[in-house]
Amino acid sequence: MTKLCRKNCAAILFFLLLIQFNIFTAENYPHITELVSRNPVFKQYNQEVEQNYKNLARGKPLKLSLYTYTCTKNDTVITLSARCNIPQETIATLNRIPSVDNNLSGKTLFLPTVTGLFITKSPATTLEHILSKKNFDYDSTLCYSINGDSFYFLPDCRFEATERAFFLDTSLISPLPQGILTSSYGMRISPITGVEQFHNGVDLAAPKGTSVYAARSGVVRLAGSDRVYGNYIIIKHDNNTESLYGHLDSYSVKKGQTVEKGTVIGKVGTTGLSTGPHLHFEIRMDGKSQNPPAYLFFKE
């Protein structure tokens, strides 16, 4: 047996061993360089996808295979789904993509040949926390190790309405639709000290007890009190974004709780360093404050 032949045999045996124990790593699987029909690897991928759809329709066993692909600047979950004939949720849950607007440029993704949902054993994003609460038989469901992450795989399973809403809806709403903007983002004269300083958010005046809404779906990272913000809430969203709600009279959520956009999370107050009833609202990205988007239409 030639040296090259022995090397190929060893590679095939290792490949089969990985399949036997449901272990998938990017370097061990076919790589698609272009999502075009003339690409032989992509053509092979499409054939496997088509065969699995036929097997699904006939009630025959499905064969899960994984290919890899490195995204270009024009790729999105939507375009990948259309090119691969695999649902958005299958690609998203396998690759732990938290929302439809996630930037994929330069990222190497796994492309599966079977439709379904991949439920991670270690949820981190809002969507993954929601999916982790799905009701299925854990003991009889296949578990795969993919790039160091462990996933339960639910073949031919799609997002439910709430799951789809969290994945598709990435916009913000005003946390206080009837509030009046009394202090903008940026440099200002502090009403407490009288000294010019940077204001990390916006202040929205409203009567004490007015309902405060979650500006976007997410998971409550903190709900507590301190000297500056008084009673406050920080909600962690996807894409390393957070929203902060300060000077609350009270709050009705707790740390670790998943909240949907528009959920009442507290009441306007004047706790902490405050001169009157209002909501201090911040948007943070990668830990740094951002100017809330203009489309929230705060009233002067």
Per-residue pLDDT at 9 exceeds 80: no
Confidence of residue 17 (pLDDT cuts 50, 70, 90): very low
> What's the CATH fold of domain 180-296?
Glucose Permease (Domain IIA) (2.70.70)
- CA neighbor of 123 nearest in space, from 264, 236, 21, 22: 236
Choice between 163 and 223, residue whose per-residue pLDDT is larger: 223
Arithmetic mean of pLDDT, 155-179: 84
Q: What would the pLDDT profile of 117-152 be if each residue is shown by its tens digit?
A: 999 999 887 788 889 888 889 888 989 988 889 999
H-type alpha helices, the chain: 3-20, 40-58, 77-84, 88-94, 126-131, 161-168
Per-residue pLDDT at 15 exceeds 60: no
| pLDDT value of position 26 | 53
Q: Hey, what's the torsion of the CAs at 167, 168, 172, 178, to 10 degrees?
A: -110
Q: What percent of the chain has pLDDT over 70?
A: 88
| pLDDT value of position 55 | 95
Which strands form 31-32's sheet, in the order they lie side by side?
A: 31-32, 66-70, 108-112
Beta strands per DSSP E along the chain: 23-24, 31-32, 66-70, 108-112, 116-120, 143-146, 149-155, 180-183, 186-189, 196-199, 202-205, 211-213, 218-226, 230-236, 241-251, 258-259, 264-268, 278-285, 288-290
The CA angle 230-232-233, to the nearest 5 degrees, is 170
Arithmetic mean of pLDDT, 49-66: 95
The residue written with tokens 């500056």 in the block is 228
Per-residue pLDDT at 22 exceeds 60: no
Q: For the chain, give every residue range classified as CATH 2.70.70.10.
A: 180-296
Q: What is the mean pLDDT of the chain?
A: 85
H-type alpha helices, 115-232: 126-131, 161-168
As a whole number of Å, the CA-based R_g of the chain is 24
Contact 259, 215 (CB under 8 A): no
pTM (two decimals): 0.62
| pLDDT value of position 130 | 84
Per-residue pLDDT at 265 exceeds 80: yes
Per-residue pLDDT at 72 exceeds 70: yes
Q: What would the pLDDT profile of 73-115 be if each residue is shown by its tens digit?
A: 999 999 999 999 999 999 999 999 988 878 898 999 999 999 9
| pLDDT value of position 20 | 43
Choice between 195 and 67, residue whose per-residue pLDDT is larger: 67
Cα–Cα distance, 96 to 108 (Å, whole number): 12
Start-to-end CA span in the chain (Å): 81
Enter the tokens of residue 225: 């009190």
Cα–Cα distance, 182 to 229 (Å, whole number): 17
| pLDDT value of position 139 | 86
| pLDDT value of position 13 | 39
H-type alpha helices, 154-231: 161-168
Helix (H, G, I), strand (E, B) or coil at 28: helix
Listed range (1-5, 51-55, 60-64, 206-210) with the worst mean pLDDT: 1-5
| pLDDT value of position 11 | 40
